Amino acid sequence: MIRHRPASVTLADLEALDRDDPLRTLRDAFMLPDGVVYLDGVSLGALPRETPTRLHEVAARQWGQDLIRSWTVHDWIGAPQRVGDKIARLIGAGRGEVVVSDSTSVNLFKLLAAACRLRPDRSLILSEPGNFPNDLYVAQGFQGLSDGRIGLRLVSADQIEAAIDEHVAVVLLTHVHYKSAAVHDMARITARAHAQGALALWDLSHSAGAVPVNLNAAQADFAVGCGYKYLNGGPGAPAYLFVAQRHQATTASPITGWLGHARPFDFIDDYTPAPGIGRFLAGSHPILGITALEVGVDLMLRADPQCRVDKSRALSELFVALVESRCAGQGLELASPRSPEARGCHVALRHAQAYAVMQALIVRGVIGDFRAPDAMRFGFAPLYNRYADSWHAVETLRDVLHTAAWDRPEFKQRQAVT
Ligand SMILES: *Cc1c(COP(=O)(O)O)cnc(C)c1O
């Protein structure tokens, strides 16, 4: 995979880049353990320093002292919309188009159902093989519930546009691929879907806070996304969903819970959906989870968007160039697009012993992750990763491969979570 001449860059050069980094102060806003090069924000974002304090405050003061009154006096009830409006600014959505709720999986189910109901005369969900399996599983579950009315069709990424025809109700794609980090052209695919009368539902789990996203410029219909990756909302953080303003009055959630009701506290027997995006809420939302998510989103909003994008591209590009020059001949293969513009914030490398190699890296303090069957992922979070991290990661990778340090039985024992 040698494409470049050995990079002449030195560690000192990279440390100088880190000192001049306009986002440098944001790294200090995160708690990262000494001696760890954390390259797994693609799976679980780091902990903002402020999060434990905020959680303590909300638990001890709001919950502990103000008790049930907090739903009103601390606006717990408005939290999904308030934080949704903040996330909207990261993904090119307007106020009232995004709400924090449930998990990405549940939101996906709700929006797939909403989209298919908008196109009752159409019978297909179109996606790609190798999409994040979870999303395909959710589509299969919805398909099962439709008693055969709805089918799921998978075609490879380069065939998607051609496959959108008059049978397709909704195109379901992950904007940045979870494994390869390949980016779909959201505006183009959405335009093609609309030209054929279909709708577009985008999973932004690896996009928000990572790459430029402009849902409204792309005329996207629906989107979902995850709170615990680049948004740093903490393990199992609540997710979010987007429904374009133009669809809100005519769509409905299949989970008609009371918090999506127009007047939940009237306690009447019949369901009437709330007028706006609130109709996609279901049950009571996790206040502690949203509290932690809001800290992460506020931090992300502090970073200049162009600086963020430029930095994450520079970091991942540096990593790829260093791997090409320092680890040539070690059986690695780039499993991500070579051009930084064509990929998200992470880089996937294939290796026959990818799992064991990653375990050996983790033991040495370089934390990425493994995705079956043979890929290592290295994520570059612009808020807290440093240029020097790429250097240390590649030097450690080189050492692990050169010395075959991965070749130990304990590194080949698969854990429950990879
Ligand atoms: C991480 C991720 C999810 C997360 O789904 P959960 O419901 O939070 O487990 C969904 N879709 C994609 C593409 C992801 O990468």
Å from CA of 58 to ligand 1 middle:
27
CB 285, CB 106: distance < 8 Å: no
Q: What is the DSSP string of 227-277?
A: SSSTT---TT---EEEE-HHHHTT---SS--GGGBS-GGG--SS--B-SSG
Is 158 a residue whose pLDDT tops 80? yes
Domain with CATH 3.40.640.10 in the chain: 52-302
User: Mean pLDDT over residues 30-38, rounded?
Assistant: 97
Residue 4: pLDDT band with limits 50, 70, 90: very low
Q: How many residues does the chain have?
A: 418
228 catalytically annotated: yes
**Closest atom, ligand 1, to C-alpha of 104:** 7
Kind of pairing, strands 37-38 and 199-203?
A: unpaired
- pTM of the predicted model over 0.85: yes
**Per-residue pLDDT tens for 169-224?**
999 999 999 999 999 999 999 999 999 999 999 999 999 999 999 999 999 999 99
What's the token pair of residue 248? 């809100």
pLDDT given for residue 293 in this prediction:
98
Q: pLDDT tens digit string along 9-20?
A: 999 999 999 999
249 token code pair: 């009055």
pLDDT band at 7 (very low <50, low <70, confident <90, very high): low
Question: Which of 30, 222, 228, 280 is flagged as catalytic?
Answer: 228
Sole residue written with tokens 């030097």: 395
CATH H-level superfamily of 11-31+305-412: Aspartate Aminotransferase, domain 1 (3.90.1150.10)
How many Å apart are CA 184 and CA 176, to the nearest integer? Answer: 7
Contact in structure between 361 and 400 (CB atoms under 8 Å): yes
Asked if the model's pLDDT at residue 3 lies above 60, the reply is no
Q: What percent of the chain has a predicted confidence (pLDDT) above 70?
A: 98
Residue 8: what pLDDT? 81
Work out the average pLDDT over 355-379.
Answer: 97
203: phi then psi, degrees, rounded to nearest 5: -95, 115
103 within ligand 1 shell (Cβ under 6 A): yes
- Distance (angstroms) between ligand 1 centre and the Cα of 111 equals 14
What residue spans in the chain does CATH classification 3.90.1150.10 cover? 11-31+305-412
Nearest-angstrom CA–CA distance, 142 and 152:
10
CATH of region 52-302? 3.40.640.10
Kindly state if the Cβ of 207 falls inside 6 Å of ligand 1. no
pLDDT at position 148: 87
Which tokens in the block code for residue 8? Answer: 């002449």
Chain segment 56-97, per-residue pLDDT in tens: 999 999 999 999 999 999 999 999 999 999 999 999 999 999
Per DSSP, which regions of 105-145 are E strands?
124-127
230 lines ligand 1 (CB under 6 A): no
Q: Which of 195, 205, 212 is nearest to 41 (CA)?
A: 205
Q: How far is CA 36 from CA 49, 222, 232, 379, in A?
A: 17, 38, 17, 14
Residue 2 has pLDDT above 80, yes or no: no
| Strand order across the 346-350 sheet | 333-334, 346-350, 375-379, 369-371
